[in-house]
Amino acid sequence: MIDMIANFSLAQEQNLMSSESVLPLPENPIIVGFGGVGVDFLAVVRSFPIPDTKMRTTEFKVQGGGNTGNAMTCAARLGLKPRIVSKVSNDAPGKAMLDELEAEGVDTSFFVVSKEGTSPFSYIIVDNQTKTRTCIFTAGDPPMVPQDLTQANLLSALDGARVVYFDARMTDSALVIAQEAFRQNISILIDAERPREGLNELLSLADYAVCSEKFPQAWTEESSIPRALVSIILRLPRLKFAIVTLGKDGCIMLENCVNDESSHIEEMDVESCLTSLKKRGDDSTAMPTCIASPVTKLRAEGIGSVFGRLYFGTSEKIPPSELIDTTGAGDAFVGAVLYAICANLSPEKMLPFASYVAASNCRALGARSGLPHCTDPSLASFTE
């Protein structure tokens, strides 16, 4: 836990500099995250181990992790005021997790702390040759259940919140929180990594969705990502947008626009539209960019059409010598999207901003070490 203790003091020093933020402070910076937190044991090896062999690490680090813990840490560093609702045990890893989050400026007063049991943790093998990571997750015990959520604590956690984030874990408890947020007209963002039991009910309440590359086709059984995005918006008409992250290949976003029935706009095939956007992209720039279609009727043959706008965002081209670890890149992207929603950034600014934040995190070991702070001058150009 020495690495985690060192992270506390560093985070506290950096929080003192928050008054020098180059990012605009949103009018309402309060967000709530519900889902996974844990401790990551990161082992860097020269190449992924062959079964039944022994090898040495080239680097080792212990750091807080979990999708919600990482995304809320990112949001805190960007200037938001996150609260987390989750569960840990009263063991050394659980205490270290809470201390690290508090040092980052995350409110942990809504955690449920079990007197017995074990807190969640992951072993993460980072392959220094392929720059990939393999996660081996162990869930906490006892797990969180809806009975752990008192009404008073739930209402207090949601009080004044602008957005509530769910990583789609512990869906029974997540649904209780999401239904209350829905009743209070608080925006809901779902991080959809893969189909899970209870996820459909959560998605039906969502205002925003950020999906992994494989989720849209797995959930809709469509033949391509753009077709799947049209299907997602048609199935979930409450969504304002759905984003699919593609790692080094950037991201795709479909914005659900208000349909002007008086306008007679010719439909555009969504796959052809994406192909056109990619051709307009500038491969000469290393920094992330965004290309958008006009607002139009985007059609997917055999599915239907959506009145909206399609966006293609490129990722930052990280030199191989600077790429250290992709752990938590998706969580960093989500944390930046949460900031963008609170700061009312346009999609054209949000997508490059989120891609830049995610790329920054890939330049250090672990899910949090490389997360930028609101004092980072390079962030300013994405919000001006």
97-136 per-position pLDDT tens digit: 999 999 999 999 999 999 999 999 999 999 999 989 999 9
Write the CA distances from 326 to 50, 177, 192, 341, 373, integer angstroms. Answer: 21, 30, 18, 24, 18
What pLDDT is attached to residue 263?
A: 60
Report the pLDDT averaged over residues 84-104.
Answer: 97
Q: Please state, in angstroms and rounded to a whole number, the distance separating the CA atoms of residues 94 and 90.
A: 6
Q: What is the pLDDT of residues 164-222, one digit of tens each?
A: 999 999 999 999 999 999 999 999 999 999 999 999 999 999 999 999 999 999 999 99
pLDDT: which is higher, 144 or 265: 144
Per the domain annotation, does 218 fall within a domain?
yes
Q: Please state, in angstroms and rounded to a whole number, the distance separating the CA atoms of residues 95 and 98.
A: 5
Give counts: helices (H), strands (E), the chain. 12, 17
Local confidence band at 259 (pLDDT 50, 70, 90 cut-offs): confident
pLDDT: which is higher, 265 or 92: 92
Per the domain annotation, does 203 fall within a domain?
yes
What pLDDT is attached to residue 2?
A: 46
Local confidence band at 17 (pLDDT 50, 70, 90 cut-offs): very low
Per the domain annotation, does 28 fall within a domain?
no
Q: What is the pLDDT of residues 297-339, one digit of tens each?
A: 999 999 999 999 999 999 999 999 999 999 999 999 999 999 9
Would the pLDDT of 1 be above 60?
no
Alpha helical stretches, state H, the chain: 2-15, 67-77, 92-103, 151-158, 171-183, 199-203, 215-220, 225-235, 270-280, 329-342, 347-361, 380-383
* Side-chain half-sphere CA neighbours of 292 within 13 A: 16
Q: 384 with 321: CB under 8 angstroms?
A: no
Q: 292 with 277: CB under 8 angstroms?
A: yes
> What is the CATH number for 159?
3.40.1190.20
Per the domain annotation, does 374 fall within a domain?
yes
Contacts for 116 with CB less than 8 Å, ≥ 6 apart:
89, 90, 142
3-class secondary-structure state, position 336: helix
What pLDDT is attached to residue 260?
A: 64
**Closest to 362 (Cα-Cα) out of 317, 328, 337:** 328
Q: What is the pLDDT of residues 361-370, one digit of tens each?
A: 999 999 999 9
pLDDT: which is higher, 19 or 357: 357
| Residues 184, 188, 38, 217, CA torsion sign | positive
Q: What is the pLDDT of residues 137-147, one digit of tens each?
A: 999 999 999 99
Would the pLDDT of 39 be above 50?
yes
What pLDDT is attached to residue 16?
A: 42
Print the domain residue range for 212: 67-118+150-383
Write out the two tokens for 375. 């004092």
Would the pLDDT of 74 be above 70?
yes
Per the domain annotation, does 357 fall within a domain?
yes
Would the pLDDT of 253 be above 70?
yes
Burial of 21 (0-12, 13-18, 19+ CB in 10 A): middle
Domain count, the chain: 1
Local confidence band at 9 (pLDDT 50, 70, 90 cut-offs): very low
Q: How many degrees, rounded to 5, is the angle at CA 32 between CA 30 and CA 38? A: 130
What pLDDT is attached to residue 285?
A: 82
What pLDDT is attached to residue 7?
A: 53
Write out the two tokens for 28. 């309402």
Would the pLDDT of 159 be above 70?
yes
Per the domain annotation, does 144 fall within a domain?
no
Local confidence band at 14 (pLDDT 50, 70, 90 cut-offs): very low
Write out the two tokens for 128. 């220094």
Per the domain annotation, does 24 fall within a domain?
no
Would the pLDDT of 275 be above 80?
yes
**Closest to 209 (Cα-Cα) out of 251, 146, 154, 155:** 251
Residue type, position 190, single letter:
I
What pLDDT is attached to residue 261?
A: 60
Q: Please state, in angstroms and rounded to a whole number, the distance separating the CA atoms of residues 240 and 188.
A: 10
Q: Please state, in angstroms and rounded to a whole number, the distance separating the CA atoms of residues 233 and 211.
A: 13
**Closest to 204 (Cα-Cα) out of 250, 239, 230, 242:** 239
Q: What is the pLDDT of residues 40-72, one digit of tens each?
A: 999 999 999 999 999 999 999 999 999 999 999
Local confidence band at 91 (pLDDT 50, 70, 90 cut-offs): very high
Q: Please state, in angstroms and rounded to a whole number, the distance separating the CA atoms of residues 164 and 189.
A: 6
Per the domain annotation, does 189 fall within a domain?
yes
Write the CA distances from 182 to 111, 129, 338, 341, integer angstroms. Answer: 21, 46, 17, 17
